[in-house]
Amino acid sequence: MRPTTRVPGLVLTEHEFTVPLDHSGPGGGPTLTVFAREAAAPDGTDRPFLVFLQGGPGFEAPRPVTAASYPWLSRALRDYRVLLLDQRGTGRSSPVGRLDGKNAEEQAGYLRHFRADAIVRDAELVRRALGVAKWSVLGQSFGGFCVMTYLSTAAEGLAEAFITGGLAPIGRPTDDVYRATYARVIDRNRAYYARYPADRERVRRIHRQLTDSEVRLPSGDRLTPRRFRQLGLMLGMSDGAERLHYVVEQPIDAPGFVHDVEAALPFARNPIYAILHESSYADGCVTGWSAARLLPAELEEPDAFTGEMVYPWMFEEYSALAPLRGAADILAREEWPRLYDAERLRANEVPVAAAIYADDMYVERAFSEESARSLGGIRAWLTNEYEHNGVRVDDRVFSRLVDLVRGRA
CA distance 392 to 288: 33
Q: Is 219 a catalytic residue?
A: no
Runs of H (alpha helix) within 87-198? 104-111, 116-129, 142-153, 174-195
Helix (H) or strand (E) holding 240: helix 240-248
* Distance separating alpha carbons of residues 217 and 211, to the nearest angstrom: 15
CA dist 25 and 29 (Å) reads 7
Catalytic residue among 74, 93, 136, 141: 141
**Distance between CA atoms of 162 and 180, rounded to whole angstroms?**
24
Residue type, 245: H
Q: Which of 360, 368, 371, 395 is catalytic?
A: 360
List 74, 86, 388, 395, catalytic entry:
388
Q: Which SS3 state, helix, strand or coil, does residue 392 take?
A: helix
Q: Is the dihedral of CA 187, 116, 269, 66 positive or negative?
A: positive
Contacts with 47 (C-beta within 8 Å, 6 or more apart), sequence order: 40, 41, 79, 80, 81
Q: How far apart are alpha carbons 179 and 195 in whole angstroms?
A: 25
Q: Which residues are catalytic?
A: 141, 360, 388
